[in-house]
Amino acid sequence: MDFVSFFKQYFETIGLLYSISWWWAGPIVLFYLFKILWRKYSWGQYASTMKNIVLEIKPPRNIERSPRTMEQVFAALHGVWSTPNYIDKFIKGKWYQSLISFEIQGVNGEMHFYVRLESKYRNFIESLIYSQYPEAEIQEVEDYTLSVPKNVPNPEWDLWGVDFKLAKNDAYPIRTYKYFQEEVTKGMIDPLAELADVIAGLPPGQQIWLQLVVTPEHDKDWQGTVKKLADKLSGKEVKSEPMFIFRFFSEIGDILSSAFMYIFSTVDEIAEKKKEEQPLMFRLTPGEQETLKAVEESIAKKGYRTKFRFIYVGRREGFDRGFLSGVNGAIQQFNDAMLNSFAHDNETKTFANYIWVEPRMRFAQRKIFNRYLDRDPDGPRFVLNSEELATVFHMPDMSVLSPSISRVEAKKGGAPVNLPIE
């Protein structure tokens, strides 16, 4: 049979199968296609009705609190999670949880902290922050991204950006603030200190943006995933019960294996085999025990589906890619080979090689820039718990002496109770 006859017969077979099955397979395929398109369209319509605002948080000048304080904010913020019903999804278009973006801007050598969220949650987020940082200052401001032209890159402005992903399963935690401790005094080293120093060195016209777009993850889904990993690491992983006949022959095999071991093996070999038969958790190395402990501690924490994004944008005159190394170094502080690590996602990183380098580079730059402006969660996402989020985004301690951090200028206080009123 020649190739022409083969392909002719091949396509005739496909046509025959289609003529037999189109009446039931076609509607199923069309239904799922319609569902995907309707979900995208209805969510877009719903999202266009949401009123989003940007709040700037100015930390107190003399703050003596660890990131654990911010962890309490993220733990309580999980209360915005809700379960949309079928009417909310299919009719109103509310397919997803509300997106809240926690952002850090470095500009003119200053470090600013922002939260972008729906206006209906403003009172809630303000009460959470004030409860932990009573002397902080929160005010609604214009979106700081408007300070940069929307058509970046252009002849005057350049940009470099990347989305982060996790190197391992997101049930493995990153290195959190609990591991940032000075050996001699046992005092905490603020995880944002290095980033603050990098921002302090920014020349005029250059900006560094970090964005954490988060949405609450259902406790059952998040904690169940972590529990499975903890059971696997400790050797408690539940396996399906085999049938009686297989279990019977397995036990017979174990008996014969043990008998041959005691007859033909030496004392040292028997001791070694007994050691191997001990439960896995008793054979873990100190590093593996630390990993298991960190994973188990995550089970009780709240989880957030997270998009982590970084952009360096500025005027071409003075655009220095050396700042990329500084920011990447600050991010690598959260990496731990025994736990988890942030890594660059090459699909979103603004680089191109080999062919059509310039147009492909501009396309990647504008794509990530527009996603940043829209707080778009597309691309790699992963779950971070409240402790991990607080490590990356929190109000720096007063020990961070960098002048880059924009703080409240004066301490606020109430008026004296005996103030005379005219």
387-397 pLDDT, tens digit per residue, is 999 999 998 87
Q: Is the pLDDT of residue 270 over 90?
A: no
pLDDT at 37: 83
pLDDT at 63: 72
Mean pLDDT of the residues in the chain: 82
Percent of the chain with pLDDT over 70: 79
Prior bond of 153 cis (ω within 30°): yes
38 or 239, which is more confident?
38
DSSP state at residue 181: B
88 C-beta neighbours (distance < 10 Å), count: 14
Q: Is the pLDDT of residue 264 over 70?
A: no
User: Do 160 and 208 meet the contact criterion of CB atoms below 8 Å apart?
Assistant: no
Query: How far is Cα of residue 197 from the mean position of the Cα atoms in its chain?
Result: 24
Q: Is the pLDDT of residue 403 over 70?
A: no
CB neighbour list of residue 165: distance below 8 Å, 6 or more residues apart? 342, 343, 344, 345, 380, 382
pLDDT at 7: 66
pLDDT in tens, 48-69: 788 999 999 998 877 777 889 9
Degrees, nearest 5: CA angle 140-392-319: 75
First to last CA, the chain: 108
Degrees, nearest 5: CA angle 190-114-165: 65
Averaged pLDDT, 308-321: 93
Tell me the H-state helices in 234-285: 244-264, 267-276
Element (H, E) at 215: strand 206-216
Query: How far is Cα of residue 235 from the mean position of the Cα atoms in its chain?
Result: 28
Q: Is the pLDDT of residue 79 over 80?
A: yes
Element (H, E) at 137: strand 137-141
pLDDT in tens, 37-52: 887 888 778 877 889 9
Element (H, E) at 145: none
Task: Sketch the domain layout of the chain as residue ranges.
Answer: 51-217+302-392, 234-290
User: Do 113 and 248 meet the contact criterion of CB atoms below 8 Å apart?
Assistant: no
Element (H, E) at 344: strand 342-344
- Single out the residue of 392, 389, 390, 383 nearest to residue 222, CA to CA: 383
Q: For residue 315, name the pLDDT band (cuts at 50, 70, 90).
A: very high
Averaged pLDDT, 329-356: 91
Q: Is the pLDDT of residue 279 over 60?
A: no
Q: For residue 137, name the pLDDT band (cuts at 50, 70, 90).
A: very high
Q: For residue 313, name the pLDDT band (cuts at 50, 70, 90).
A: very high
Indicate the residue type of 342.
Answer: F
SS3 29: helix
pTM value?
Answer: 0.80
Averaged pLDDT, 303-322: 93
pLDDT at 13: 78
User: Do 58 and 408 meet the contact criterion of CB atoms below 8 Å apart?
Assistant: yes
Element (H, E) at 374: helix 357-374
